[in-house]
Amino acid sequence: MTTLNIVSLLPSLMNTNGDAENATVLQRRAEWAGLEACVIAVDSPADLPGRVDAVVIGSGSDASLEAVRSKLLTIHDELRTWGTDGIPILSVGTGWELLSWGIERRDGSTVEGLGILPGRAVPRDGRATGDVVVASPRFGLLVGFENHARDYVGAEGSPLGRLRSGTGNGRGSGQEGVVMGAVIGTHLHGPVLAKNPEFADHLLASMAERAGLEYVAGPAAAVADAYAAVARETQLAAVGAAASVTEA
């Protein structure tokens, strides 16, 4: 049977809030569906497998931005090819910002991004923290936690979804995240796929189809989904968000 290879990029540097564990969520749900899957930690091009079925990039500290950018540049061409070929790439927080046009710092300096996603990160007044609820036409109602000191501009035409609660991309946009084909950027920590099984299953269905397989969530997933449902309901109740995507 074909093994689904899930690449976790730089997990030792990019795992704030457990975001690198989105790769483990994909692996477990694939296994529960009777598919073979493995997570491959990649710190350099030499670590890359022969075939990649999904890529996860977590979030890290600002102190590591330059080091992470340098490492990502060594697989810049591969990232562009994966995105063009429709391989799901989930990037969170600073991992997302580094895939953008770039990051503007408060002191006026900049960190050039890889230019894979539209938009750029810019300083905001005050840190955005707290629960976020996003209505996404493609992935359903998403919940998560945001913790960022930058807004995101220049990608208003391709958001992950519309805010029901939280700051998201900021600047009054009412939007959260960005999507370009199969490449996704988001502020949602959690890790986001653990809190949003429908989101994870959408990515897995895409991965399986590309590999000539069929993904159907297995019975074991129902147990994890029940825990996720309780957490989601609690979060939605706390922020008073409507559990609907009809206005997305």
Which residue ranges make up each domain of the chain? 3-239
Residue 241 pLDDT > 80, yes or no? no
Which one is predicted more confidently, 154 or 190?
Answer: 154
Residue 243 pLDDT > 80, yes or no? no
pLDDT at 248: 45
Residue 247 binned pLDDT confidence (cut-offs 50, 70, 90): very low
Residue 238 pLDDT > 90, yes or no? no
The per-residue pLDDT for range 153-178, each reduced to its tens digit, is 999 999 999 999 999 999 999 999 99
Name residues whose C-beta falls within 8 Å of residue 233's C-beta, 6 or more positions apart in sequence.
none
* Assigned architecture for domain 3-239: 3-Layer(aba) Sandwich (3.40)
For residues 125-152, average pLDDT: 96
pLDDT at 239: 86
85: Cα separation from own chain's centroid: 18
pLDDT at 73: 98
